[in-house]
């Protein structure tokens, strides 16, 4: 069984990419100078995507929709053409810094519900007014665009819920670690020190020595937790050294035979250029989470890790000889959601192939260049 999760190269399944495609195709379809998509959000219309002659970035701007041509088009499901532009529409365009003589507004509707408006301004050929043929073309296109946007919104919301769930589980794990290890250790230390106040000088010396030993243990525990959050080697020595340290610690803790092959950009055995900090963190965490999964679920004896850098990306392969699992019926504890989310945010791709009784192979690829940021979450949340 195979499962794949991709980032920015996953076609029209991500909201930002779908929005970009919609405005570009709409502009070409009716030869418009400027095109926008506005999506409904709690009674307001949010500029979600733009293309054409925009002097400044306007995505994320929120407009009042009540009583406007925007609202009429969206609520009635009917297109609107205007030349010259006047009224509330003209006011909205002034707020957006858009100068236009003619407008064509068509509704974006899905299952009878208006989700937004697709707006084109100033036809560049035989314009600036738009004709009935332009309206018919854009209405037909908007019907398909609305379906794609609704699907992308649903996926974005689901990914957000998964991401929040993963974050909450991670917070709960850290809370348990701090409570069960550090807090209880400090509590025991307080009891010992309080009791030592009633001892003789000779007995107090032994009690203090024991307390010092407990403090050293807690320091070691805290260092271990801090290393899990972000290992110092990752910042000080780079990705290769951090992964080697991770492998050594993991092998010592689990008894597994872990064979690692690192092929990063080197010249004479020395790394010539450090990778982007976020990229290093993403690669390291992917290897770390894969090893954690193997230790928890795979019952493996041997793990093979390959991390290879080329001109465009870093590839990660983690393979084990463990029990494997059926991905159609896997439990939620495998942590695959977190790995998918991490790789997708980095703009990469992730493939996991597992066969019961044979083992599991994880293959990831993360590009060296960061993906375009697109809409910030606060600009598109709950749309």
* DSSP structure string for 323-372: ----TTS--GGG-HHHHHHHHHHTT-EEEEEEETTTEEEEEEEEESSPPP
Phi and psi dihedrals of 217, rounded to 5?
-65, -45
SS3 label, residue 316: strand
Per-residue pLDDT, 157: 66
Range with the lowest mean pLDDT among 251-255, 269-273, 353-357? 269-273
Mean pLDDT, to the nearest integer, of 179-187? 76
Paired with 110 in beta bridges are 113
User: Residue 7 pLDDT > 50, yes or no?
Assistant: no
Cα separation values, 100 from 79, 177, 321, Å: 18, 60, 64
Count the residues in the chain.
Answer: 383
Tell me the pLDDT band of 270, cut-offs 50, 70 and 90: very low
pTM of the model: 0.47
Give the separation between CA 79 and CA 104, rounded to whole angstroms.
Answer: 7
Cis bond before residue 84 (omega within 30° of 0): yes
Q: Identify which has the larger pLDDT, 256 or 327.
A: 256
Task: Count Cβ atoms within 10 A of the Cβ of residue 202 and give its class: 0-12 exposed, 13-18 middle, 19 or more buried.
Answer: exposed
135-170 per-residue burial string, b: 16 or more CB within 10 A, e: under 16: bebbbebbeebbebbbebbeebeebeeebeebeeee
Per-residue pLDDT, 377: 35
Whether 233 and 241 have beta carbons less than 8 Å apart is answered as yes
Tell me the pLDDT band of 325, cut-offs 50, 70 and 90: confident
* C-beta neighbour count of 79 within 10 angstroms: 20
Spell out the SS3 assignment of 231-270. Answer: CHHHHHCCHHHHHHHHHHHHHHHHCCEEEEEEECCEECCE
Tell me the pLDDT band of 55, cut-offs 50, 70 and 90: low
Range with the lowest mean pLDDT among 10-24, 63-77, 368-382? 368-382
The fraction of the chain above a pLDDT of 70, given in percent, is 77
Supply the DSSP symbol for 276: P
Q: Tell me the pLDDT of the chain averaged across its residues.
A: 78
Mean pLDDT, to the nearest integer, of 24-45? 87
User: Residue 13 pLDDT > 70, yes or no?
Assistant: no
In the chain, at which residue ranges do the beta strands (DSSP E only) sit? 2-6, 32-41, 44-52, 62-64, 80-82, 103-110, 113-123, 257-263, 266-267, 270-271, 302-309, 313-320, 349-355, 359-367
The pLDDT tens digits of the residues spanning 230-241 come to 677 777 778 888
User: Residue 298 pLDDT > 60, yes or no?
Assistant: yes
Q: Identify which has the larger pLDDT, 125 or 315.
A: 315
């Amino acid at each position: 069984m195979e499962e794949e999760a991709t980032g920015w190269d996953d076609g029209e399944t991500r909201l930002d990419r779908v929005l970009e495609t919609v405005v570009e195709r709409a502009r070409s379809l009716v030869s418009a100078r400027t095109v926008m998509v506005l999506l409904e959000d709690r009674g307001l219309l949010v500029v979600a995507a733009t293309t054409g002659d925009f002097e400044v970035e306007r995505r994320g701007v929120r407009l009042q929709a009540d009583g406007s041509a925007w609202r009429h088009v969206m609520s009635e499901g009917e297109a609107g053409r205007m030349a010259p532009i006047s009224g509330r529409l003209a006011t909205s365009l002034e707020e957006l810094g858009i100068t236009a003589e003619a407008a064509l507004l068509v509704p974006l509707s899905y299952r009878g519900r208006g989700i937004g408006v697709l707006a084109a301004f100033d036809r560049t050929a035989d314009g600036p007014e738009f004709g009935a043929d332009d309206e018919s073309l854009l209405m037909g296109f908007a019907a398909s665009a609305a379906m794609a946007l609704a699907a992308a919104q649903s996926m974005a919301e689901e990914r957000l819920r998964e991401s929040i769930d993963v974050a909450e589980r991670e917070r709960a794990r850290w809370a348990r670690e701090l409570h069960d290890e550090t807090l209880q250790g400090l509590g025991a230390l307080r009891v010992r020190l309080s009791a030592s106040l009633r001892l003789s000088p000779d007995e107090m010396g032994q009690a203090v020595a024991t307390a010092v030993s407990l403090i050293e243990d807690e320091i070691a525990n805290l260092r271990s937790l801090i290393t899990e959050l972000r290992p110092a080697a990752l910042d000080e020595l780079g990705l290769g050294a951090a992964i080697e340290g991770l492998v050594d610690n993991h092998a010592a803790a689990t008894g597994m035979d872990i064979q690692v092959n690192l092929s990063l950009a080197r010249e004479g055995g020395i790394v010539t250029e450090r990778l982007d900090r976020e990229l290093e963190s993403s690669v390291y965490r992917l290897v770390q989470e894969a090893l954690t999964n193997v230790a928890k679920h795979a019952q493996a004896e041997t793990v093979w890790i390959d991390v290879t850098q080329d001109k465009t990306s870093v590839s990660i392969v983690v393979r084990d000889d463990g029990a494997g699992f059926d991905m159609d019926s896997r439990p939620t504890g495998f942590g695959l959601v977190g790995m998918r989310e991490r790789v997708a945010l980095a703009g990469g791709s992730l493939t996991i192939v597992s066969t019961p009784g044979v083992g599991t192979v994880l293959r990831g690829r993360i590009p060296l260049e960061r993906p375009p940021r697109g809409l910030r979450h606060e600009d598109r949340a709950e749309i």
